[in-house]
Amino acid sequence: MGNKKGDLIERIYKRVRKIPKGKVSTYGIIAKSIGAKKVNPRYVGYLLHKNPNPKVIPCHRVVDRNGKVAEKYAFGGWRGQKKKLIHEGVKFIGIKRVDLRESLV
C-alpha cells in the first residue's frame, strides 16, 4: 500500500470506517492505531473536523478517552453526536458520556 505523509487522513478515515455499528473508539486509540510514529489525538480530531465526510466516515463514533462526546462536534454539537449514537444502540452514562465498558472496541 502506498504510504505517504498525507495519507494520515486516509488512515484515520479508514480506521473510523471500521468501527462497528453500536461501538465507539477514542482519539487516542485511533492515533496509535494508524501507527505513524506518534500522532497526537488532537490532530485526529482536527482532521475529522476539517474534512467531515459523514457519508462514509462515522465520525460520531469517535469520542475522547473518558467516553465523552466532542463538545465541538461539527454536526449539531455533542447533542447531534449523542443522538446518532443512541440511534445505533450505544449506551450513555449521564449526559455527555458513552458507556465505554460496552461500546469501546
Partner DNA sequence: CCGTTGACCAGGC
Partner DNA sequence: GGCCTGGCCAACG
Q: Which residues make up the interface to DNA (CB under 7 A)?
A: 5-6, 8-9, 26-28, 36-46, 48-50, 52, 59, 62, 64-66, 70-74, 81
Is there a catalytic annotation at residue 51?
A: no
Q: Which residue has the cell 486509540?
A: 29
**Catalytic residue among 59, 63, 69, 85, which?**
59
Taking a C-beta distance cutoff of 8 angstroms, is the pair 12, 52 a contact?
no
**Which CB atom, from 43 or from 91, has the smaller least distance to DNA?**
43
> Rounded to the nearest whole angstrom, what is the least distance from the CB of residue 39 to DNA in the complex?
5
> Rounded to the nearest whole angstrom, what is the least distance from the CB of residue 65 to DNA in the complex?
3
How distant, in Å, are the alpha carbons of 1, 8, 10, 38 from that of 4? 9, 8, 10, 15
Beta bridge partners of 62: 25
> Rounded to the nearest whole angstrom, what is the least distance from the CB of residue 64 to DNA in the complex?
3
46 CB contacts (<8 Å, ≥6 apart)? none
Q: Catalytic residue numbers? A: 59
